Structures are given as structure tokens and as C-alpha cells.
Amino acid sequence: MCIMKKHEKYIICCPNCGKQLLKSKDGSELEIECPRCHSELTVVHIGTELKLHERISEYTAESK
Ligand SMILES: [Zn+2]
């Protein structure tokens, strides 16, 4: 996972290839696809907490 905090925003990078994807502001819930490696990611940013899910790994966990 690659999240950097800069001032009031978070800068989120792809956990697979490290490409910078977006800058998140407070209250964001986003679904994004990495343009380089095509990982599908869900970002939830509420208050000071930021979570990054990779949809592929969630699917793998559900299929067990
Ligand atoms: Zn990527």
C-alpha cells in the first residue's frame, strides 16, 4: 500500500506498480482503476482514516 499524507490531502499510489493515482480529500469514496497495471481499487476516506481495497484480493477471499 502506498499512501502519503501531504497537508490536508492524501496522495494514493497503486499498491502493485507504484503509479500515483489521485489526491483524496476528506469524505471521498472512490473506485478507480490503475492506468498502468489495471488493478481495480476502492478508496474510502472518512475523517483521518483512509482505507484502500484492491478488488481482486477481495474477490479471492470471497471465493474460498
Ligand atoms: Zn498499478
Is the distance from CB of 43 to CB of 54 less than 8 angstroms?
Answer: no
Quote the ligand 1 centre to 4 CA distance (angstroms): 16
Residue 20's pLDDT is: 92
Give the CATH number for residue 6. 2.20.28
CA of 34 to the centre of ligand 1 (A): 5
Residue 2 CA to ligand 1 centre (angstroms) = 11
Kindly write down the DSSP assignment for every residue of 2-64, as one continuous string: EEEEETTEEEEE-TTT--EEEEEPTT-EEEEE-TTT--EEEEEEETTEEEEEEHHHHHHHHT-
What DSSP character marks residue 1? Answer: -
Per residue in 8-63, pLDDT tens? 788 889 988 999 988 877 777 889 999 999 999 998 888 778 888 887 655 556 66
| C-alpha 24 – ligand 1 centre gap (Å) | 17
User: What count of other Cβ atoms lies within 10 Å of the Cβ of residue 29?
Assistant: 11
- Number of domains the chain is built from: 1
Q: What pTM, to 2 d.p., does this model score?
A: 0.66
Q: Please give the residue range of the domain that contains residue 21.
A: 2-62
Q: Do residues 52 and 1 lie in contact, with contact meaning Cβ atoms separated by under 8 Å?
A: yes
